[in-house]
A and B are shown apart, each in its own frame.
Chain A
Amino acid sequence: ETGVTQTPRHLVMGMTNKKSLKCEQHLGHNAMYWYKQSAKKPLELMFVYNFKEQTENNSVPSRFSPECPNSSHLFLHLHTLQPEDSALYLCASSPRTGDNSPLHFGNGTRLTVT
Protein backbone atom coordinates (compact mmCIF):
# COMPACT_ATOMS: atom_id res chain seq x y z
CA GLU A 1 0.00 0.00 0.00
CA THR A 2 1.55 3.30 -1.06
CA GLY A 3 -0.52 5.64 1.11
CA VAL A 4 -1.82 7.30 -2.05
CA THR A 5 -4.88 5.65 -3.59
CA GLN A 6 -6.13 6.36 -7.10
CA THR A 7 -9.41 5.29 -8.65
CA PRO A 8 -10.30 3.99 -11.10
CA ARG A 9 -7.23 1.96 -12.09
CA HIS A 10 -8.36 1.82 -15.70
CA LEU A 11 -10.69 4.07 -17.67
CA VAL A 12 -11.83 3.97 -21.28
CA MET A 13 -13.78 6.97 -22.48
CA GLY A 14 -15.01 8.43 -25.71
CA MET A 15 -14.05 11.89 -26.85
CA THR A 16 -17.42 13.33 -25.86
CA ASN A 17 -17.60 11.78 -22.40
CA LYS A 18 -17.09 13.43 -19.05
CA LYS A 19 -15.30 11.48 -16.34
CA SER A 20 -13.32 12.15 -13.17
CA LEU A 21 -10.19 10.66 -11.66
CA LYS A 22 -9.92 10.50 -7.89
CA CYS A 23 -6.89 10.54 -5.60
CA GLU A 24 -6.78 10.19 -1.83
CA GLN A 25 -3.72 10.30 0.39
CA HIS A 26 -3.47 8.99 3.95
CA LEU A 27 -0.04 10.42 4.75
CA GLY A 28 -1.03 13.73 6.32
CA HIS A 29 0.60 15.65 3.49
CA ASN A 30 -0.39 19.14 2.40
CA ALA A 31 0.75 19.15 -1.22
CA MET A 32 -0.79 17.10 -4.01
CA TYR A 33 0.17 16.75 -7.66
CA TRP A 34 -1.12 15.42 -10.96
CA TYR A 35 1.43 13.99 -13.41
CA LYS A 36 0.93 12.59 -16.92
CA GLN A 37 3.10 9.65 -17.94
CA SER A 38 3.34 8.84 -21.65
CA ALA A 39 5.60 6.31 -23.32
CA LYS A 40 9.19 7.47 -23.87
CA LYS A 41 8.62 10.86 -22.25
CA PRO A 42 9.60 12.22 -18.85
CA LEU A 43 6.89 12.50 -16.26
CA GLU A 44 4.98 15.68 -17.05
CA LEU A 45 3.83 17.83 -14.16
CA MET A 46 0.27 19.04 -14.72
CA PHE A 47 -1.04 20.65 -11.54
CA VAL A 48 0.17 21.38 -8.03
CA TYR A 49 -1.89 22.11 -4.94
CA ASN A 50 -0.43 23.29 -1.64
CA PHE A 51 -2.79 23.50 1.36
CA LYS A 52 -5.77 23.20 -1.06
CA GLU A 53 -4.62 26.15 -3.16
CA GLN A 54 -3.53 25.62 -6.76
CA THR A 55 0.05 26.82 -7.06
CA GLU A 56 0.84 25.56 -10.52
CA ASN A 57 -0.92 24.90 -13.80
CA ASN A 58 1.73 23.74 -16.23
CA SER A 59 0.00 25.02 -19.40
CA VAL A 60 -2.50 22.19 -19.28
CA PRO A 61 -5.45 22.38 -21.73
CA SER A 62 -8.76 23.39 -20.20
CA ARG A 63 -10.28 19.98 -21.00
CA PHE A 64 -8.45 18.91 -17.81
CA SER A 65 -9.91 20.53 -14.70
CA PRO A 66 -8.46 19.80 -11.24
CA GLU A 67 -10.27 20.09 -7.93
CA CYS A 68 -8.82 19.89 -4.43
CA PRO A 69 -11.57 20.06 -1.79
CA ASN A 70 -9.15 19.35 1.07
CA SER A 71 -5.53 18.36 1.59
CA SER A 72 -6.35 14.65 1.42
CA HIS A 73 -8.34 14.54 -1.81
CA LEU A 74 -7.59 15.53 -5.38
CA PHE A 75 -9.73 15.11 -8.48
CA LEU A 76 -9.07 15.51 -12.18
CA HIS A 77 -12.21 16.19 -14.19
CA LEU A 78 -12.00 15.22 -17.85
CA HIS A 79 -14.17 16.35 -20.76
CA THR A 80 -13.92 16.30 -24.54
CA LEU A 81 -10.52 14.62 -24.45
CA GLN A 82 -8.42 13.76 -27.47
CA PRO A 83 -6.81 10.39 -28.32
CA GLU A 84 -3.38 11.87 -27.55
CA ASP A 85 -4.54 12.33 -23.95
CA SER A 86 -4.36 8.56 -23.50
CA ALA A 87 -1.70 7.97 -20.83
CA LEU A 88 -1.10 6.93 -17.25
CA TYR A 89 -2.20 9.70 -14.88
CA LEU A 90 -0.34 9.69 -11.61
CA CYS A 91 -1.24 11.44 -8.40
CA ALA A 92 1.43 12.23 -5.82
CA SER A 93 1.69 13.94 -2.46
CA SER A 94 4.41 15.48 -0.30
CA PRO A 95 4.51 17.27 3.06
CA ARG A 96 4.48 20.62 1.25
CA THR A 97 5.73 22.06 -2.02
CA GLY A 98 9.31 23.00 -2.74
CA ASP A 99 10.82 21.70 0.46
CA ASN A 100 13.14 19.14 -1.12
CA SER A 101 11.15 16.18 0.15
CA PRO A 102 10.24 13.13 -1.94
CA LEU A 103 6.93 12.69 -3.67
CA HIS A 104 4.80 9.67 -2.84
CA PHE A 105 2.96 8.33 -5.88
CA GLY A 106 -0.23 6.36 -6.32
CA ASN A 107 -0.45 3.50 -8.82
CA GLY A 108 -2.10 5.67 -11.42
CA THR A 109 -5.15 5.58 -13.66
CA ARG A 110 -4.56 4.13 -17.12
CA LEU A 111 -6.70 6.29 -19.40
CA THR A 112 -7.61 5.34 -22.95
CA VAL A 113 -9.48 7.85 -25.09
CA THR A 114 -11.25 6.31 -28.07
Chain B
Amino acid sequence: GENVEQHPSTLSVQEGDSAVIKCTYSDSASNYFPWYKQELGKGPQLIIDIRSNVGEKKDQRIAVTLNKTAKHFSLHITETQPEDSAVYFCAAYLPRGSNSGYALNFGKGTSLLVTP
Protein backbone atom coordinates (compact mmCIF):
# COMPACT_ATOMS: atom_id res chain seq x y z
CA GLY B 1 0.00 0.00 0.00
CA GLU B 2 0.93 3.66 -0.19
CA ASN B 3 3.07 5.17 2.56
CA VAL B 4 0.80 8.20 2.88
CA GLU B 5 -2.87 7.92 1.93
CA GLN B 6 -5.00 11.01 1.45
CA HIS B 7 -8.76 11.40 1.19
CA PRO B 8 -10.83 12.66 -0.48
CA SER B 9 -9.27 13.20 -3.88
CA THR B 10 -11.79 15.95 -4.67
CA LEU B 11 -13.85 18.14 -2.35
CA SER B 12 -16.41 20.79 -3.21
CA VAL B 13 -17.82 23.11 -0.54
CA GLN B 14 -19.87 26.27 -0.42
CA GLU B 15 -18.16 29.47 0.60
CA GLY B 16 -18.27 29.82 4.37
CA ASP B 17 -18.46 26.08 5.04
CA SER B 18 -15.65 24.02 6.54
CA ALA B 19 -13.42 21.60 4.67
CA VAL B 20 -11.61 18.59 6.13
CA ILE B 21 -8.89 16.53 4.45
CA LYS B 22 -7.58 13.36 6.06
CA CYS B 23 -4.32 11.45 5.75
CA THR B 24 -2.91 8.26 7.19
CA TYR B 25 0.70 7.14 7.33
CA SER B 26 2.42 3.82 7.70
CA ASP B 27 5.37 4.25 10.09
CA SER B 28 4.79 4.99 13.76
CA ALA B 29 8.27 6.54 13.96
CA SER B 30 7.22 9.45 11.74
CA ASN B 31 7.25 12.70 13.70
CA TYR B 32 6.80 15.57 11.24
CA PHE B 33 3.74 16.26 9.10
CA PRO B 34 3.55 19.30 6.79
CA TRP B 35 0.64 20.39 4.60
CA TYR B 36 1.12 22.09 1.25
CA LYS B 37 -1.21 24.13 -0.96
CA GLN B 38 -0.63 24.16 -4.71
CA GLU B 39 -2.36 26.76 -6.83
CA LEU B 40 -2.59 26.53 -10.60
CA GLY B 41 0.75 27.21 -12.26
CA LYS B 42 2.68 27.26 -9.00
CA GLY B 43 4.68 24.87 -6.87
CA PRO B 44 3.44 23.51 -3.53
CA GLN B 45 3.64 26.04 -0.71
CA LEU B 46 3.81 25.10 2.97
CA ILE B 47 0.71 26.29 4.83
CA ILE B 48 0.98 24.56 8.19
CA ASP B 49 2.88 21.73 9.82
CA ILE B 50 2.75 19.72 13.02
CA ARG B 51 5.24 17.68 14.99
CA SER B 52 4.43 14.59 16.97
CA ASN B 53 4.79 16.22 20.36
CA VAL B 54 1.52 18.12 19.87
CA GLY B 55 -1.96 16.99 18.95
CA GLU B 56 -3.29 20.15 17.32
CA LYS B 57 -2.02 23.35 15.80
CA LYS B 58 -4.00 26.31 14.54
CA ASP B 59 -3.19 29.28 12.33
CA GLN B 60 -6.15 31.58 11.71
CA ARG B 61 -8.65 29.63 9.58
CA ILE B 62 -6.55 26.50 9.18
CA ALA B 63 -5.80 23.84 11.77
CA VAL B 64 -4.14 20.46 11.77
CA THR B 65 -4.82 17.59 14.16
CA LEU B 66 -2.63 14.55 14.75
CA ASN B 67 -3.55 11.18 16.23
CA LYS B 68 -0.29 9.27 16.63
CA THR B 69 -1.97 6.15 17.97
CA ALA B 70 -4.16 5.84 14.91
CA LYS B 71 -1.44 7.22 12.61
CA HIS B 72 -3.63 9.80 10.99
CA PHE B 73 -3.66 13.56 10.69
CA SER B 74 -6.16 16.01 9.25
CA LEU B 75 -6.35 19.51 7.81
CA HIS B 76 -9.31 21.67 8.76
CA ILE B 77 -10.18 24.87 6.92
CA THR B 78 -12.99 26.95 8.42
CA GLU B 79 -14.98 29.78 6.80
CA THR B 80 -13.74 28.75 3.38
CA GLN B 81 -13.25 31.38 0.69
CA PRO B 82 -12.97 31.02 -3.10
CA GLU B 83 -9.23 31.74 -2.87
CA ASP B 84 -8.85 28.56 -0.80
CA SER B 85 -9.54 26.62 -4.02
CA ALA B 86 -6.37 24.67 -4.80
CA VAL B 87 -4.80 21.22 -4.50
CA TYR B 88 -3.73 20.33 -0.97
CA PHE B 89 -1.05 17.75 -0.19
CA CYS B 90 -0.26 16.10 3.11
CA ALA B 91 3.17 14.68 3.77
CA ALA B 92 5.03 12.68 6.38
CA TYR B 93 8.66 11.93 6.99
CA LEU B 94 9.07 8.19 6.51
CA PRO B 95 12.14 5.94 6.59
CA ARG B 96 13.74 5.28 3.23
CA GLY B 97 15.25 1.95 4.20
CA SER B 98 18.25 0.77 6.17
CA ASN B 99 20.77 3.56 6.72
CA SER B 100 19.00 5.82 4.23
CA GLY B 101 17.48 8.17 6.73
CA TYR B 102 14.07 9.73 6.38
CA ALA B 103 12.47 11.46 3.42
CA LEU B 104 9.26 13.38 2.90
CA ASN B 105 6.48 11.23 1.37
CA PHE B 106 3.45 12.95 -0.12
CA GLY B 107 -0.18 11.99 -0.44
CA LYS B 108 -1.85 12.10 -3.86
CA GLY B 109 -3.51 15.42 -3.17
CA THR B 110 -7.02 16.77 -2.67
CA SER B 111 -8.50 19.17 -5.19
CA LEU B 112 -10.61 21.62 -3.17
CA LEU B 113 -13.19 23.81 -4.89
CA VAL B 114 -14.92 26.55 -2.93
CA THR B 115 -17.96 27.88 -4.75
CA PRO B 116 -19.36 31.36 -4.03
Contacts and interface: CB of A to CB of B under 8 A. Distances in A.
Q: What's the interface size class on A, roughly?
A: 20 to 34
A92 B38 CA distance: 14
Contacts of A45: 103-104
B83 to A, nearest CB: 18
A48 interface: yes
A16 to B, nearest CB: 29
A105 B43 contact: yes
A90 B41 CA distance: 12
A2 B43 CA distance: 9
B101 interface: yes
B61 interface: no
Contact of A98 (B41, B101, B108): B101
Nearest to A45: B103
Contact of A107 (B2, B43, B93, B105): B43
Contacts, number: 54
Interface residues on B, range: 20 to 34
A90 B43 contact: yes
Q: Which among B2, B49, B106 has the highest number of chain A CB atoms within 10 Å?
A: B106
A105 B45 contact: yes
Nearest to A108: B43
B52 to A, nearest CB: 9
Interface string A81-107: 000000000101000011011111111
Given A97-B101, A98-B102, A100-B51, A42 B44 contact: no
Interface string B1-19: 0101000000000000000
A102 B49 contact: yes
A42 B107 contact: yes
B108 to A, nearest CB: 5
B8 to A, nearest CB: 13
> Which of A102, A107, A108 has the largest number of chain B CB atoms within 10 A?
A102
Contacts of A48: 103
B7 to A, nearest CB: 13
Interface of A: 2, 4, 6, 40-43, 45, 48, 56, 90, 92, 97-98, 100-108
